[in-house]
Amino acid sequence: MSTIQNISIFYFSGTGNSKKVALWFYEFAKERGILCEIVDISNANRSSLQKINPDSLIVIISPIHGFNFPKITLNFIRAFPKGKNRIVLMNTRGSVKIGNRITPGLTGVAFLLSSLILKRKGYKIIGQIPFDMPSNWISIHPVIRKKSAQFIFDKNYHRAKKHFEKIYAGKNDFASRKDTIQDVLISPVSFAYYLIGKFFLAKSYYASYKCTNCNLCIKQCPVKAIREVNKRPFWTFKCESCMKCMNNCPVDAIETPHGLWVIVIYLTSIVCTCLFYSLLPEFAQFWIVKFILFNIILIGYMWIFYRIQQFELKNRIIAKIISLTSLTHYKFWGRYKGSDN
Going by C-beta distance under 8 Å and a sequence separation of 6 or more, which residues neighbour residue 234?
Answer: 226, 227, 228, 310
What is the mean pLDDT of the segment spanning 48-62? 87
What is the mean pLDDT of the segment spanning 320-332? 96
Residue pLDDT, tens place only, 25-46: 999 999 999 999 999 999 887 7
Q: Which has more confidence, 78 or 278?
A: 78
What is the mean pLDDT of the segment spanning 282-296? 81
Whole-number pLDDT of residue 339: 57
pLDDT at 226 over 70: yes
**Mean per-residue pLDDT over the chain, rounded:** 92
Angle at alpha carbon of residue 187, lines to 190 and 78, rounded to 5°: 60
Domains of the chain with bracketed CATH: 6-189 (3.40.50.360), 198-329 (3.30.70.20)
From the list 5, 14, 10, the residue with the least C-alpha distance to 222 is: 14
Whole-number pLDDT of residue 284: 66
Pairwise CA distance, residues 312 & 325, whole Å? 14
What is the mean pLDDT of the segment spanning 154-159? 97
What is the mean pLDDT of the segment spanning 147-159? 96
* Spatial contact of 15 and 334, defined as CB atoms under 8 Å apart: no
Whole-number pLDDT of residue 166: 97
Query: Sorting pLDDT into bands at 50, 70 and 90, what band is 341?
Result: very low
Whole-number pLDDT of residue 283: 64
Residue pLDDT, tens place only, 69-117: 999 999 999 999 999 999 999 999 999 999 999 999 999 999 999 999 9
Q: Which has more confidence, 30 or 338?
A: 30
Whole-number pLDDT of residue 288: 81
Give the residues across from 6 on adjacent strands. 35
The share of the chain scoring above pLDDT 90, in percent, equals: 82
